[in-house]
Homo-oligomer: A and B are copies of this chain.
Amino acid sequence: MTELAKIGVILLSGGLDSMVTAALAKEQGYRLHALTIDYGQRHVRELQSARAIADKLGVERHVSLPLDLRQFGKSALTDDIDVPKSGVGNDIPVTYVPARNLLFLALTTAFAESAGSSDIFIGVNALDYSGYPDCRPEFIASFAETARLGTKQGVEGSPFEIHAPLQHMTKAEIARECARLGLDASWSWSCYDPTADGLACGLCDSCRLRRKGLAEAGVVDSTRYAATPDRA
């Protein structure tokens, strides 16, 4: 890693996908700057994982930015609404946070432009996911064009590239990347609704997708779960 290496700016939630994305950026030779948003999520535990991952991966600059989305409301992740536990469905679930990735990508773009970087990394995934519209490739592509038009950096000829290396991977493929890159899955945190004593619930969409993916890939995860679903 030389002084001449480019800066890659990672949206680092602390989950499995953003951890693998950050490690892929590092493998490609980027110097890592990471942004974590402390948005009033009920799984505030993921912020602790984001710090641990940043430390393990040698992130040069890690900003954990408070942004209280509880002031807007209307999501099970920020409000007093129950997190669904009955399995991954086909509709957009109540854990959807209004315009979250639009907002988080905009924040990451502002962070990247301030750092003089045009490489943004995000761990979105449109295969084994919860059906959030802001994980789809057409959204990511449209965002890149909007960021080009709306920034000094874009206008002056160095548009942002939005790297989404997990976009077309299954959760099992992501789990295999996790192992290949020498990452410990338990550094990351996925559960939306941790128990009072700090265990992953085991039943929310995010726990289900994580466990299924890691199991299919044969990857060990020492995360402790409070419950095991009857079916995935």
A65 partner residues in chain B, CB cutoff 8 A: 67-68, 71
One complex includes copies of this chain to the number of 2
Quick check: is A151 within 8 A (CB to CB) of the other chain? yes
Contact residues of A with B, CB < 8 Å?
A: 63, 65-69, 71-75, 92, 96-103, 105-107, 109-111, 113-115, 133-134, 136, 138-139, 142-143, 145-147, 149-156
- Assess whether B68 is in contact with A66, with CB atoms less than 8 Å apart: yes
What is the distance, in angstroms, from A16's C-beta to the closest C-beta of chain B? 22
- Assess whether B113 is in contact with A99, with CB atoms less than 8 Å apart: yes
What is the distance, in angstroms, from A42's C-beta to the closest C-beta of chain B? 16
- Assess whether B114 is in contact with A110, with CB atoms less than 8 Å apart: no
- Assess whether A152 is in contact with B98, with CB atoms less than 8 Å apart: yes
Distance of A99 Cα from B101 Cα, bound (Å): 15
- Assess whether A63 is in contact with B71, with CB atoms less than 8 Å apart: yes
- Assess whether A72 is in contact with B111, with CB atoms less than 8 Å apart: yes
- Assess whether B110 is in contact with A102, with CB atoms less than 8 Å apart: yes
Known A66-B68, A133-B149; judge A98-B74 contact (CB<8 A): no
- Assess whether A102 is in contact with B67, with CB atoms less than 8 Å apart: no
